Amino acid sequence: MFKIIYLLLITIFISLSANAATKYISEDLYIFMHSGPSTQYKIIGSLNSGEHIETVREESNFTLIKDSKNRNGWINSKYISEQIGLKDRLPKIESELTKLKIQLEEYDKSIESKINQISKLEDINSDLSKQLKEITVLNNALNEKLDTKRTDLLMRWFTYGGMVAGAGLLLGLILPLLIPKRRNRNRW
């Protein structure tokens, strides 16, 4: 009979241990552990906020826990949280914050260099736009001169052509007058 009771107790203890879950004491608290599932039982210790605990079983509003010092005791269930305590989260958060600050500084430097590049490119673009306007004005002036030269050349050729035509006409009219005509002896 003693062996059966002993086996039942071991089985209950093992099943309770198997159901144990890792939880934490809520923040901003300093709570007492009691020897039983109410505040009427003797205080057997205290727990700081954020302390790591394992829950063994729950009974009404109290939970049997095992703390980091391997002590078993009962605490009010409302003080148990599944979130890691701030003192454990703070170093991780601070390291992440440091990494993010470094990344932010790198991005700021990158943005500043990009802004400087954009400013330089805008200056170059402005200079090139001015040069383009100057070249466009010069191109228009040169095109006007070229058109004037073409017109002058055409007028010169028309003038030369007119002079040649006029000289030919004059020669054609004067030359027959200067050369005597042969008379036909055979006149009627």
What pLDDT was estimated at residue 5?
76
Contacts of 142 (CB under 8 A, 6+ apart): none
Q: Is 23 exposed, middle or buried (0-12, 13-18, 19+ CB in 10 A)?
A: middle
What tens-digit pLDDT sequence spans the chain (188 residues)?
Answer: 677 776 666 766 665 554 556 666 655 567 888 888 888 889 898 888 778 888 888 888 899 999 888 889 999 888 888 877 777 778 888 999 999 999 999 998 899 899 999 999 999 999 999 999 999 999 999 999 999 999 999 999 999 999 999 999 988 888 878 877 766 666 55
Question: Can you tell me the distance from the alpha carbon of 125 to that of 135, in angstroms, rounded to the nearest whole number?
Answer: 15
Q: Residue 65 belongs to what H/E stretch?
A: strand 62-67
89 inside domain: no
Please report the pLDDT score of residue 116 as a whole number: 92
In a domain, 12, yes or no: yes
Q: How high is the pLDDT of residue 26?
A: 56
Write down the pLDDT at residue 12. Answer: 65
CATH number at residue 55: 2.30.30.40
Encoding tokens for residue 94?
């601070």
Domain residue limits at 64: 2-84
59, 118 in Cβ contact below 8 A? no
Half-sphere exposure of 1 (CA within 13 A, CB side): 0
Of 22, 14, 7, nearest in space to 63 by CA: 22
Angle at 86 between CA 85 and CA 87, to 5 degrees: 95
For 148, the token pair is: 């004037």
pTM for this model (two decimals) = 0.41
* Number of compact structural domains in the chain: 1
| 69 belongs to a structural domain | yes
Provide the β-strand partners of residue 64.
57, 74
In this structure, is residue 179 part of a structural domain? Answer: no
Domain assignment of residue 75, yes or no: yes
13 falls within a domain: yes
In a domain, 60, yes or no: yes
Handedness of CA 48, 53, 56, 61 (dihedral sign): positive
In a domain, 122, yes or no: no
**pLDDT confidence of residue 15:** 59
- In the block, residue with structure tokens 């390291």: 95
SS3 29: coil
